[in-house]
Structure 1
Amino acid sequence: MWLAKLQTSCGCIKLQTNGRFIRNLTTQHSRMSCKTITVDQDDEIRKLPDKYERQPNVLRKKFTSGVPGTVNLQVLGAGANGSPSSVYLFTDQARYLFNCGEGTQRLAYEHKTRLSRLEHIFVTRNTWTTVGGLPGLALTVQDVGVRNLGLHGPPQLDTMLQSMRRFVMLKNLQIDTIDSTQRELFEDSILSVQPVVLTSELQPTQEILSYICKLKPRPGALNLVKCVEHGVPPGPLLGKLKNGQDITLPDGKLVRSVDVTEPGETALSFVFIDVPSEDYLPSLEAQATEYKQLAGSELTEVALVVHFTPTEMTAQAAYERFMADNFSPGTQHIYLNSALNKFSGCVAANRIQYQLNQLHPHIFPLLAESLELQDSCPSLNLSQNLKKTKLEDEQSNEEPTQTEQAAQGVGSMSSFHLRPRKGLDRTLEAKLNPEEYIKETHAVPGFTELLAQLQKETEALKITESSSYPRIIFLGTGSCIPNKTRNVSSILIQTAPAAYMLLDCGEGTYGQIVRLFGRERTQEVMRQLQAVYVSHLHADHHIGLIDLLLQRQKLQPAQKLLLLAPRQIEPWLNFYNRQIQSIAEAYTLRGNGELLDEPLTDESVQCMGLSAIATCLVKHCPSAFGISLTLQSQFEGEPIKVTYSGDTMPCEDLVELGRNSTVLIHEATMEDDLEEEARIKTHSTVSQAIQQGRDMQAKHIILTHFSQRYAKCPRLPSTDDMQQVAIAFDNMQVTVEQLQHYHKLYPALLAMYAEYTEELEQRAVKRELKQERKRKLAQT
Structure 2
Amino acid sequence: MWLAMLKLQRIAPHGTLRTLTENCIRMSSQVVTDAKDTLGQKPPLKYERQPNVLRKKLSSVVPGSVNLQVLGAGANGAPGAVYLFTDQSRYLFNCGEGTQRLAHEHKTRLSRLEHIFVTRNTWTTVGGLPGLALTIQDAGVRNVGLHGPPHLDTMLQSMRRFVVLKNLQMQTIDSTLGAQFEDSILTVQPVVLRSEQQLAQPVLSYICKLKPRPGALNLVKCVEAGVPPGPLLGQLKNGQDVTLPCGKVVYSVDVTEPGETALSFVFIDVPSEQYLSSLQAQAEQYKQLAASELTEVALVVHFSPPELVVNAHYSSFMAANFSPGTQHIYLNSPQNPFSGYAAAHRIQYQLHQLAPRIFPLLAESTDLQHSWQSTKLSHSLKKTKLENGHGAEEPKEDSEVPIKEMKQQAEQGVVSMTSFHLRPKKGLDRTLEAKLTPEEYINETHAVPCFTELLAQLQADIRDTLKTPSNSYPRIIFLGTGSCIPNKTRNVSSILIQTAAEAFMLLDCGEGTHGQIVRLYGRERARQVMQQLQAVYVSHLHADHHIGLIGLLRERQRLAPASPLLLLAPRQIEPWLQFYNRQIESIADAYTLVGNGELLEQPLAGEQVDQLGIASIATCLVRHCPHAFGVSLTLQAQHEGAPIKVTYSGDTMPCADLVELGRNSTVLIHEATMEDDLEEEARIKTHSTISQAIQQGRDMEAKHIILTHFSQRYAKCPRLPSSEDMQHVAIAFDNMQVTVDDLQHYHKLYPSLLAMYAEYTEELEQRAVKRELKQERKRKLAQT
Alignment pair present for 1:264 and 2:259: yes
2:669 is matched with which residue? Answer: 665
Alignment pair present for 1:515 and 2:519: yes
Q: How does 1:753-772 map to 2 (within 5 A)?
A: 753-772=757-776
Kept in 2: contact 1:500–1:525 (CA 8 A) = yes
1:327 is matched with which residue? Answer: 322
Deviation at 1:687, TM superposition (A): 0.7
Alignment pair present for 1:155 and 2:159: no
Q: Separation in 2 of the partners of 1:488 and 1:125?
A: 25
Kept in 1: contact 2:648–2:668 (CA 8 A) = yes
Deviation at 1:554, TM superposition (A): 1.0
User: 299-308 or 454-463, which moves further after superposition?
Assistant: 454-463
Secondary structure in structure 2 of the residue aligned to 1:623 = coil
Secondary structure in structure 1 of the residue aligned to 2:504 = strand
Deviation at 1:406, TM superposition (A): 4.0
Q: 1:672 to 1:340 in 2, by over 3 A?
A: same
Q: Separation in 2 of the partners of 1:180 and 1:598?
A: 50
Q: 1:586 to 1:580 in 2, by over 3 A?
A: same
Matched residue type, 2:472: S
Kept in 1: contact 2:60–2:184 (CA 8 A) = no
User: 699-708 or 52-61, which moves further after superposition?
Assistant: 52-61
1:380-435 deviations in Å (ceiling 9; x for gaps): 9x998677957999641326964364455211011000001231101000000000
Matched residue type, 1:298: E
Deviation at 1:259, TM superposition (A): 3.0
Q: Separation in 2 of the partners of 1:460 and 1:32?
A: 73
2:40 is matched with which residue? Answer: none
RMSD value over aligned CA atoms? 2.6
TM-score norm. by structure 1 comes to: 0.92
Q: How does 1:12-411 map to 2 (within 5 A)?
A: 27-29=22-24, 33-35=28-30, 56-57=51-52, 59-246=54-241, 255-378=250-373, 395-398=390-393, 402-403=405-406, 405-406=409-410, 408-411=412-415
Matched residue type, 1:769: L
Secondary structure in structure 1 of the residue aligned to 2:315 = helix
2:735 is matched with which residue? Answer: 731
1:445 is matched with which residue? Answer: 449
2:39 is matched with which residue? Answer: none
Q: Separation in 2 of the partners of 1:25 and 1:281?
A: 53
TM-score norm. by structure 2 comes to: 0.92
Kept in 2: contact 1:110–1:484 (CA 8 A) = yes
Q: Separation in 2 of the partners of 1:303 and 1:37?
A: 40
Q: Separation in 1 of the partners of 2:492 and 2:193?
A: 36
Counting matched residue pairs gives 751
Kept in 2: contact 1:55–1:145 (CA 8 A) = no
Deviation at 1:587, TM superposition (A): 0.2
Alignment pair present for 1:704 and 2:708: yes
User: 724-733 or 27-36, which moves further after superposition?
Assistant: 27-36
User: 166-175 or 548-557, which moves further after superposition?
Assistant: 548-557
Deviation at 1:299, TM superposition (A): 0.2
1:631 is matched with which residue? Answer: 635
Kept in 1: contact 2:81–2:94 (CA 8 A) = yes
1:702-756 deviations in Å (ceiling 9; x for gaps): 0000000000001100111111110000000000011111111111111101111
1:477-502 deviations in Å (ceiling 9; x for gaps): 00000000000000000001110000
Deviation at 1:359, TM superposition (A): 0.5
2:12 is matched with which residue? Answer: none
Deviation at 1:339, TM superposition (A): 1.6
Matched residue type, 1:295: A
Deviation at 1:693, TM superposition (A): 0.6
Secondary structure in structure 2 of the residue aligned to 1:745 = helix
Matched residue type, 1:607: Q
User: 248-257 or 186-195, which moves further after superposition?
Assistant: 248-257
Matched residue type, 1:274: D
Kept in 1: contact 2:327–2:382 (CA 8 A) = no
Structure with more of its chain in helix, by fraction = 2
Gaps of 5+ in 1: 1-8, 11-22, 39-47
1:201-243 deviations in Å (ceiling 9; x for gaps): 3144511000000000001111122333445454555444323
2:8 is matched with which residue? Answer: none
- Identity fraction in percent: 79
Alignment pair present for 1:558 and 2:553: no
Q: 1:389 to 1:756 in 2, by over 3 A?
A: farther
Matched residue type, 1:413: M
Kept in 1: contact 2:730–2:746 (CA 8 A) = yes
Deviation at 1:770, TM superposition (A): 1.0
User: 399-408 or 749-758, which moves further after superposition?
Assistant: 399-408
Deviation at 1:55, TM superposition (A): 6.4
Q: Separation in 2 of the partners of 1:482 and 1:25?
A: 46
Of 504, 509, 516 in structure 1, the residue corresponding to residue 508 of structure 2 is 504
Of 537, 540, 546 in structure 2, the residue corresponding to residue 536 of structure 1 is 540
User: 455-464 or 201-210, which moves further after superposition?
Assistant: 455-464
Q: Separation in 2 of the partners of 1:379 and 1:182?
A: 47
Kept in 2: contact 1:670–1:678 (CA 8 A) = yes
Secondary structure in structure 2 of the residue aligned to 1:629 = strand
Q: Separation in 2 of the partners of 1:160 and 1:519?
A: 31
1:602 is matched with which residue? Answer: 606
1:749 is matched with which residue? Answer: 753
Q: 1:26 to 1:597 in 2, by over 3 A?
A: farther
Q: 1:51 to 1:448 in 2, by over 3 A?
A: closer
Deviation at 1:465, TM superposition (A): 1.8
Alignment pair present for 1:577 and 2:581: yes
Kept in 1: contact 2:387–2:427 (CA 8 A) = no
Q: 1:596 to 1:393 in 2, by over 3 A?
A: farther
Q: Separation in 1 of the partners of 2:745 and 2:60?
A: 63
Q: 1:266 to 1:621 in 2, by over 3 A?
A: same
Secondary structure in structure 2 of the residue aligned to 1:698 = coil
User: 451-460 or 664-673, which moves further after superposition?
Assistant: 451-460
Q: Separation in 1 of the partners of 2:599 and 2:363?
A: 37
Q: 1:616 to 1:30 in 2, by over 3 A?
A: closer
Deviation at 1:463, TM superposition (A): 5.1
Q: Separation in 2 of the partners of 1:394 and 1:769?
A: 60
Kept in 1: contact 2:356–2:466 (CA 8 A) = no
